[in-house]
Structure 1
Amino acid sequence: MKASLQSTASEFVPGDQKPAGPVGGAKGSPSLTGTLSATPFVPSPKLLVGLEAPPFTPGLAPAQVQPGGGVSAAKQPPPGVPGGIGPGGRSGRGGPAPQPPPIVRAPSHPPKALAAHAAAAFAVLSAAGQGPFVPGGPGVAAGQRSPQAGRGRGRRPAAPYAATLGQPATVPASALSITEALRAELQADLTAQQAQPDPGLPDFVGSYHSLCALEDASPGAAHPAPALGVPSRVYRAASARDGSCVALRRLDPQAVAPAPQLLAGFRAAQERWRAVEGQPFLAAWREALVSAELDGAPALWLAHAFVPGAVTLEAAHLAPGARPPGVDRLWQYLVQLAAALHAVHGAGLVLWGAGLAPSKILVSSEAGGAPRLRIAAAGTLDALMQVPGAGEEDLRRLQRSDLAALGHTLLTLACAGLGASPSLDLLPGSTPPDLVRVIAGLLASAQGGGFQDTSALAGALAMHTVGALSSTAARGDAMRAELAKECENGRLLRLLARLGTVAGRPSLGGDTEWAETGDRYMLKLFYSFLLHQVDEAGQPTLDWGVLAESLNKLDAGVPESILLLSADEASMLVVTYADLKRCFERCQAELRGGAEAPARHALARVQA
């Protein structure tokens, strides 16, 4: 016998309430016609289920959907004939007789009796090929693919089933969110961006606020930077335009007077460097401005992209007590800096050698990936050098100087911890010969030997670039998988929040019974089913899998039946997720209409 249970209920009113008018609660909502059209359903004593009552037997035909969106129930069966089924199991009109919604009222029965009826109802559902025990839904036999499978908005598939036990495999809740290592990294970045501003600093510098010193800002701490040659200090600040964080570098006004000509030169350099703004190994240059908020003296400020948690190569490997980089780390640094230099030279720009000093290169750690380098002062020396546009020969010479500066930085890092001036003769014996040849070729570039350009350097790094590319692709795949988790979690959170705006709302427009009537009561029971589950002993059940799976089915509107039980275990309702989705969409439309009504009335008054 094939049976299917179709819910036709759009309202459920507890028996002790007074009739609240047409089904659907609020004005304009769809209503039931036929047996459930005029007043809320109030069961007669004959419908009260006793301990000896037989379980509910579902009908065999779907309800009729009216053009207006309501659901029409069939004519009531003759007295004494369950479901209107006559001889031969057929209705009086020759077809299967539809049933009213399976609502069971048992206010005085113990939970065990109601659980027995629920078990019997679900046994019938399972035999008919629908319900939570048959994932395919109505009319789909076990083992077949439901026509609804794969629908929705990219739902993550359910957990795999164990072939031997026939039970769902246990998946930890942590598998539904990003890894703890990535979470810790992101939280550390947010903490660095949201650090409290220093009280002794001005509230604003131009359009930037919440300044926090990234270097020692005590009096006398500023010293001429080996790379730039002028005293400077760096601060973290937040932009008032978009809220993003930047690194603000203040040049000492006694060393660099903020003349209009100098400011114009910086802004012209900034426009030239926009050609490589998206290069991943460069800290993007945002702005150059003049401000007198600090110490009352006008000074030149340079804004670059802020890298949370980053330190310079000098602090990471050359400071006292720092750990020297290994060979693999040196190759990783070399590949990244070569990629940045290739992009800079390809745009007709140079770093003036000083831009590749260890004190001007930032390194940040990334969970599951290689350390990330960024050149921090790119473009700064273009205006400070005050050199007119160089010819082609001068540009080649300056670019070869950049290659030599890169070689000197690599040699300095390779000799870190030796306590002597960097030299090829002092390289540790563990340094591979190919790395020694590359460093020697870079150092010889300034005299016209070694590598003539970054293309030749890229050829020498081909094998190591392949490895770096593979590592980057693997990390990209891992980040995409983590993003997919959070994308699904965000969708489920929005769905749950929207559901809470209906199920948790006590009234609407002065109607205090709004949540207890019509579609809203069905959604209220579903909301309780999601968040207030208990086991047979009445203890809370914290199963994230049920929550995620049920929300996914609601979002897709699958025709699978679900048993909803009231909190006092006095009422039971069997509906499909498709019915719940239709009710949900109608309630959301009703809420949006209520939220937009005041604005429409105000606009009408203004226009009048």
Structure 2
Amino acid sequence: MYHYNYPEPALSLEQLNYHLYTRPLPSLFTRNYFIPDDIREELQRRSEIIRTAPMPGLNLPEDLQGYHSMVPLEALVGERRKFGNWSTVVYRAINGKDGVPYALRRMENYRVPHVTAFAAIETWNKIRHPSIVSVKEAFTTHAFGDNSLVVVYDYYPNAQTLYDMYVKPKAPSFVNGRLQQQSQQIPERTLWSFIVQIASAIKAVHDRGMPVRVVDPTKILVTDKNRQARQVRLGSCGILDALTWEAPADMLPIFQMEDLARFGAIIVTLCCQNVAASHANNLAKALDTLGRTYSNDVKKVIVWLYGKPGPHKTIGNFLDLIGSKVLVEMDEAQTSVDRLQAELMSELENARLVRLLSKMGFINERPEFAREPRWSETGDRYIIKLFRDYVFHQVDENGNPVVNLTHVLTCLNKLDAGTDERIMLISRDEQSCLVVSYKDIKGFIDAAFRSVLLVESWDSLLNDYTA
């Protein structure tokens, strides 16, 4: 609440809480009272995944350097993921200090030879970028019965790797009664979105004088639906730096060139849905194959990334090469922000109505209040009760309940705004009726709720005094 700044001789107007009365943006967005079903379902799936419990009998540590409730995110038996020569497993665990879930990647049977190996993890911890999974910390442990290195990352529930989503063969499915292989071809617009996001992440790392070293489809996560494409983030960063902590400084340019080469290999792999297609011996055939589906611009960037190293070959020059695609990605990012803000405004309306319903809940049908058994059945409180019936307890001509959410939201919005519109309230025995305005009812609710607060505060003071 705040007052207007210009002078008013007779009275001082007080402006409404404008954020409680938002209007939809003048665009194609559809006005909703609640979050759209697809967004709500996705958020609910993430919430459920965060709270899943581990299967019994896994014999996982109950506490791991302050992390508890561990759940494996990968198979503990059978085919295991490799990181160099070491087997690795990813767990989800809750941090006991902040209660937030994190992803813990454990390198099995690895003994850290020197404390200097953790310096790279500390450097990665300072990097914050929307296309990089943030590194939190690293530590060693014997809790699994061996020497293990554990690196902690931000956790994104329901995320998948690029490999699992677009490259790994999918089981055939029935389409129109026939068993057909599932198509995994990536639309070109989605492919360019991936290219721009990954290039932006690589540039953020290279600008800090570091290599990424994990530009691999099995380590890049697809975390969110992002406009027409999806949000991707580089994962498992910092581990190779810790494992090869003795690498000389003059290897930095070589590692950065390897990042660009692996970047090109990812693009070929995604286009052909085959890891073998990215091998140098198969490149010519792969370019011919993807040229039938994708534009010549895709082939140009692949050839550039596979080209010979040189002073001109930097991630900055690559972004200059795809500048028009970056602009398209930026435009769609702005559109996404507008859409999310529109959804947020509709949720603000929900919070406003919940506060109003809570007030009514504290007042209606309240027994034995202020030493008056019929407090909520007399005076202004009786009108509030009749209004509750008018909003929620209407029936049709056959006496059946009318469940009309539009009627409920319309009435509550008018009540919260305190309009002068009048309505007729009829008693339950249909022997009397009252004509009142929404403005009057709002005043009755505020007065009754203040009396509840005053009595509660007074009783609390008496209890404190007598104690």
- 2:111 corresponds in structure 1 to 257
CA distance in 2, matches of 1:474, 1:532: 42
- 1:59 corresponds in structure 2 to none
- Note the 1:151-230 alignment, pairs <5 A: 153-155=19-21, 175-199=32-56, 200=58, 201-218=60-77, 221-225=79-83, 228-230=84-86
CA distance in 2, matches of 1:249, 1:157: 46
What is the deviation of 1:471?
2.3
1:149/1:157 Cα in 2 relative to 1: closer, same or farther (>3 Å)? farther
What is the deviation of 1:298?
5.0
1:604/1:595 Cα in 2 relative to 1: closer, same or farther (>3 Å)? same
Q: Deviations over 1:510-541 (max 9, x none)?
A: 43212112332221121111111223443322
- 2:218 corresponds in structure 1 to 359
- 1:290 corresponds in structure 2 to 140
* Counterpart code for 2:124: W
Q: Which structure dedicates a bigger proportion of its chain to strand?
A: 2
1:418/1:250 Cα in 2 relative to 1: closer, same or farther (>3 Å)? closer
Query: Scaled by the length of structure 1, what TM-score is found?
Result: 0.64
1:273/1:603 Cα in 2 relative to 1: closer, same or farther (>3 Å)? farther
What is the deviation of 1:376?
0.9
Contact 1:363-1:373 at 8 Å conserved across structures = yes
Contact 1:193-1:308 at 8 Å conserved across structures = yes
Q: Return the match for 2:195 from 334, 350, 354.
A: 334
* Counterpart code for 1:272: T
Q: Return the match for 2:449 from 588, 591, 605.
A: 588
What is the deviation of 1:503?
1.1
Aligned length: 430
Contact 1:554-1:581 at 8 Å conserved across structures = yes
* Counterpart code for 1:361: I
Contact 2:121-2:242 at 8 Å conserved across structures = no
- Note the 1:32-431 alignment, pairs <5 A: 153-155=19-21, 175-199=32-56, 200=58, 201-218=60-77, 221-225=79-83, 228-252=84-108, 254=109, 256-258=110-112, 261-262=114-115, 265-266=117-118, 268-277=119-128, 279-293=129-143, 295-297=144-146, 299-321=148-170, 323-351=184-212, 353=213, 355-364=214-223, 366=225, 369-387=228-246, 390=249, 395-417=252-274, 422=279, 423-426=282-285, 427=287, 428=289, 429-430=291-292, 431=294
Task: Give the secondary-structure state (helix, strand or coil) at the position aligned to 1:564.
Answer: strand
- 2:333 corresponds in structure 1 to 472
What is the deviation of 1:215?
0.8
- 2:178 corresponds in structure 1 to none
Structure 1 unaligned runs (5+)?
1-146, 159-171
CA distance in 2, matches of 1:421, 1:338: 18
1:349/1:565 Cα in 2 relative to 1: closer, same or farther (>3 Å)? farther
Contact 1:152-1:556 at 8 Å conserved across structures = no
Contact 1:185-1:366 at 8 Å conserved across structures = no
**RCO higher in structure (CA 8 A, sep ≥6):** 1
**Whose radius of gyration is greater, 1 or 2?**
1
1:448 equivalenced with 2:346 (yes/no): no
- 1:484 corresponds in structure 2 to 345
1:374/1:527 Cα in 2 relative to 1: closer, same or farther (>3 Å)? same
Q: Which structure dedicates a bigger proportion of its chain to helix?
A: 2
What is the deviation of 1:557?
2.1
CA distance in 1, matches of 2:127, 2:459: 50
Contact 2:71-2:91 at 8 Å conserved across structures = yes
- 1:169 corresponds in structure 2 to none
Q: Deviations over 1:380-439 (max 9, x none)?
A: 22222213783xx65444333322221222223333248656333022132432222211
What is the deviation of 1:371?
1.7
- 1:435 corresponds in structure 2 to 298
Structure 2 unaligned runs (5+)?
1-12, 25-29, 171-181
Q: Deviations over 1:267-320 (max 9, x none)?
A: x4343224422x111111122233444x34453221111122222122223323
* Counterpart code for 2:111: A
Query: Scaled by the length of structure 2, what TM-score is found?
Result: 0.82
Q: Deviations over 1:117-141 (max 9, x none)?
A: xxxxxxxxxxxxxxxxxxxxxxxxx
CA distance in 2, matches of 1:514, 1:389: 81
Identity of aligned residues (%): 31
1:470/1:490 Cα in 2 relative to 1: closer, same or farther (>3 Å)? same
- 2:372 corresponds in structure 1 to 511
Task: Give the secondary-structure state (helix, strand or coil) at the position aligned to 2:149.
Answer: strand
